[in-house]
Chain A
Amino acid sequence: DQQVKQNSPSLSVQEGRISILNCDYTNSMFDYFLWYKKYPAEGPTFLISISSIKDKNEDGRFTVFLNKSAKHLSLHIVPSQPGDSAVYFCAASEVRAGNMLTFGGGTRLMVKP
Chain B
Amino acid sequence: DAGVIQSPRHEVTEMGQEVTLRCKPISGHNSLFWYRQTMMRGLELLIYFNNNVPIDDSGMPEDRFSAKMPNASFSTLKIQPSEPRDSAVYFCASNFQYNEQFFGPGTRLTVL
A interface list, Cβ under 8 A from B = 32, 34, 36, 41-46, 49, 89, 93, 95, 98-106
Chain B: minimal CB distance from A90 (Å): 11
CA distance A109 to B31 in the complex (A): 30
Find out whether the CB atom of B43 lies under 8 angstroms from the CB atom of A46: no
Binary interface profile of B, 11-46, with partner A (CB < 8 Å = 1, else 0)?
Answer: 000000000000000000001010000000011110
Give the one of A32, A89, A100, A106 with max B CB within 10 A: A100
Find out whether the CB atom of A44 lies under 8 angstroms from the CB atom of B42: no
- Please report the total number of B residues contacting A with Cβ < 8 Å: 23
* CB closest chain-B residue, reference A49: B100
Find out whether the CB atom of A99 lies under 8 angstroms from the CB atom of B43: no
Query: Chain B at the A interface: mostly helix, strand, loop or mixed?
Result: strand
Contacts A98-B48, A100-B48 hold; do A44 and B55 have CB atoms under 8 A apart? Answer: no
Q: B42 contacts which of A41, A42, A100, A106 (Cβ < 8 Å)?
A: A106
Between A and B, 13 residue pairs with Cβ closer than 8 Å are A36-B103, A43-B4, A43-B106, A44-B103, A46-B100, A46-B102, A49-B100, A93-B98, A98-B55, A99-B98, A100-B48, A102-B45, A103-B44
Find out whether the CB atom of B91 lies under 8 angstroms from the CB atom of A44: yes
* CB closest chain-A residue, reference B40: A105
Find out whether the CB atom of B44 lies under 8 angstroms from the CB atom of A99: no
CA distance A31 to B45 in the complex (A): 18
Residues of B within 8 A of A105 (CB): 42
Closest 5 A-B residue pairs measured CB to CB? A43-B103, A46-B100, A105-B42, A103-B43, A44-B103
* CB closest chain-A residue, reference B10: A41
| Given A45-B103, A99-B55, 15 more pairs with CB closer than 8 A | A43-B104, A44-B43, A46-B100, A89-B43, A95-B98, A98-B50, A98-B56, A99-B31, A99-B33, A99-B97, A100-B48, A100-B56, A101-B101, A103-B45, A106-B43
